[in-house]
Amino acid sequence: MLESAPAGKETLGKSYVSQQYEYNLSDSQSKILKVINQYPGIRYRELARQTGLANGALTYHLNILERINYINKYRHDKTTRYYPADISSQVPIFLNMDFTSLSL
């Protein structure tokens, strides 16, 4: 089964091809990317639980994925969330909104 590739990239198994480069993602990076695509806006701790990776390994791979523009990290207050790179920068603002205080 092919994973969905970030915008502007095609997927070939675990290799993602951008317009300029081909990246061979590790199994851990593929797992992280799959979870982030499945749960946009996921927090670090939940991502660690879902992937089974230790903190150091998860941080290492997240930094690589962010550097090659496969994911985006957004911080709001003290909360960091991870999104696929193809999500608009406005979507995380909407997803982080607290709707519990709205009156109908």
The residue ranges of every structural domain in the chain are 26-87
For the stretch 23-71, pLDDT in tens is 788 999 999 999 999 999 999 999 999 999 999 999 999 999 999 999 9
Quick one: pLDDT at residue 12? Answer: 42
pLDDT on residue 85: 92
Asked whether the whole model's pTM tops 0.75, one would answer no
pLDDT value at residue 59 = 97
DSSP helix/strand/coil, 80: strand
pLDDT at 102 over 50: no
Q: Confidence class of residue 99 from pLDDT cuts 50, 70 and 90?
A: very low
**Selected residue with higher pLDDT from 43 and 21:** 43
Whole-number pLDDT of residue 20: 45
Domain 26-87 has CATH 3.40.640.10: no
Count other C-beta atoms under 10 Å from residue 11's C-beta: 16
From residue 83, give the alpha-carbon distance in Å to each of 42, 89, 102, 103, 104.
7, 10, 25, 29, 29
- Give me the sign of the Cα torsion angle 61, 64, 68, 72: positive
